[in-house]
Chain A
């Protein structure tokens, strides 16, 4: 069914809003606005305090990623993928190396697979910590933000030990990893897991179940599952609307089928299924699942050469195209790569999760208050580097 035929229900709080019939006003939110989490401009058509239409304008951070990639060999594209989603650079590396390996027919060893999964899940926690912390900030709670960044710091330390970088890692490479884990890293990672698990209760007490916060976010920006699917939403945003869909479970890659974890879906515990609070809380619960996966992946890690499958060069690429998607903290990233047999990709297209998630904002923002738009945008958790590419 086309979306304009769907009757999108509004939250109960909106019954109270008196529909004004005054003249409409156009407001620009952004591009320099703290709650747009980057440079995004949203053109608002308002009537009093009510938003009738919100039109996102993108492209302020467009860096021609796809054009640059056409002029680079496959291995040199990798550092650019870091810059797509700078909050989850490991997941971006992961999403890029998998389709290239599929195209080249490379099967990496168990150790490489496990290390990649651990890195991806650690980065998922780090990214969700930013999402949660800054979402609290959007809602006016400053303290949780500091707690989140305190714990994210431990993950960044772990990443610094393996890759040398704290934000952009380029740790994975096609066919393997840049370097093996340093001495004692596994013990330090498990130490972090022990440290981190009880902290989630702290966030819940501080923010998730906070009366002011739940009142502010529950029933705001409700996204029904039909609209979420129609708009191409993925990741926590789709799951918050009650659709049980996670690529790690439903289309497992890199050995995710071996690990036991739950797919978190929104239940509407504080309001309606698919409201902003659900989107927030799905991220909180996903962090506990990530910790579970990290423990399992590290438990049976074998001793292997991590560089055995790294190709010497990219001179003999098969001709053809490949589309591969993987689960990042923001949703499904898909790389569509067309190879013409040379060492450079003929065409590389990124299906960016935040780009598709952002396209649902006009539906969620319709007939909401201007103040709620900040809450809605924050709950989508966009990273503009990935939206604009």
Chain B
């Protein structure tokens, strides 16, 4: 079993990858630098040793200081899963797109853009996917407040319904 942190560090000495482990041991994830992200993923995709041939899922998480994007790669031949994390913490909130390597990233990246406002550089068709094109704001951000009007229609009836409801 290859330790992917060491593998990445060997190939990209200045990338400083690190494992993040929280509650569960088999759920640790590899934190990669934003600037080199697409080159490292290219290596993980095309290198004979790695060959992660499928991108399973991309999820965004608003960690308040930064937006974290989680990639789940999968190698069918070895039944091995790798969880990557990358942070969009600069002003532009930009992450290199990996659509060219994994066509399945196309819609997932559009969804992250739609929900979190993270822009994927070099994505062929960077527009909203679930929300209407003229919607204001990115709903899954923690500081999102539902707009009162959409195209002149009143869409929020009461003030207390516009933010997440506290539950006792």
Give A contacts to B, CB under 8 Å: 2-3, 58-59, 62, 64, 66-67, 70-73, 76, 102-103, 229-232, 243, 245, 250-251, 318-323, 325, 332, 334, 336, 338-339, 343-344, 346-347, 349, 351, 355-356, 359, 388-389
Given known A-B contacts A71-B165, A321-B70, A336 and B106 have beta carbons under 8 A apart: no
A349, closest chain B residue (CB): B59
Interface residue? B131 (CB, 8 A): yes
Q: Within 8 Å of chain A (Cβ to Cβ): is B18? A: no
Q: Say whether, besides A2-B101, A359-B104, A59 and B129 are in contact (CB < 8 Å).
A: yes
Is the CB of B79 closer than 8 A to any CB of chain A?
Answer: yes
| Complex CA–CA separation, A351 to B70 (angstroms) | 12
Q: Which of B1-9, B49-57, B147-155 contacts A (4 or more CB under 8 A)?
A: B49-57
A336–B57 Cα distance when bound, in Å, is: 9
Known A-B contacts A67-B140, A349-B57; A58 and B167 likewise in contact (beta carbons under 8 Å): no
Asked if A231 and B56 make an inter-chain contact with CB atoms under 8 angstroms apart, the answer reads: no
B54–A229 CB distance below 8 A: yes
Besides the contacts A232-B56, A251-B79, what 11 more A-B pairs have beta carbons closer than 8 Å? Answer: A64-B139, A67-B140, A230-B54, A231-B104, A232-B55, A321-B23, A321-B27, A338-B61, A344-B167, A349-B57, A359-B106
Q: Give the total of B residues in contact with A, Cβ under 8 Å.
A: 38
Docked pose: A231 CA to B165 CA in angstroms: 37
Note all chain B residues with C-beta closer than 8 A to A2: 100-101, 103
Task: Give the interface SS of chain A, mostly helix, strand, loop or mixed.
Answer: mixed
Question: Do the beta carbons of B72 and A334 come within 8 Å of each other?
Answer: yes
Q: By the criterion CB–CB under 8 Å, are B79 and A250 in contact?
A: yes
- Distance to closest chain A CB from B133 (angstroms): 10
The listed residue (A62, A231, A245, A336) touching B59 by CB distance below 8 A is A336
Residues on B with C-beta less than 8 A from A67 are 139-140, 164
Q: In the complex, how many angstroms separate the beta carbon of A104 from the nearest chain B beta carbon?
A: 9
Which residues on B sit within 8 Å (CB–CB) of A359? Answer: 103-104, 106-107
**With contacts A71-B167, A230-B104 known, is A336 near B130, CB below 8 A?**
no
**Taking CB as reference atom, which chain A residue is nearest B57?**
A351
Offer 29 A-B interface pairs, CB within 8 angstroms, sorted by A: A58-B130, A59-B131, A59-B132, A71-B165, A71-B166, A72-B167, A229-B53, A232-B54, A232-B104, A245-B76, A318-B23, A319-B23, A320-B24, A321-B23, A321-B29, A321-B61, A322-B24, A323-B27, A323-B72, A334-B72, A336-B59, A338-B61, A347-B61, A347-B62, A347-B140, A351-B59, A356-B104, A359-B107, A389-B130
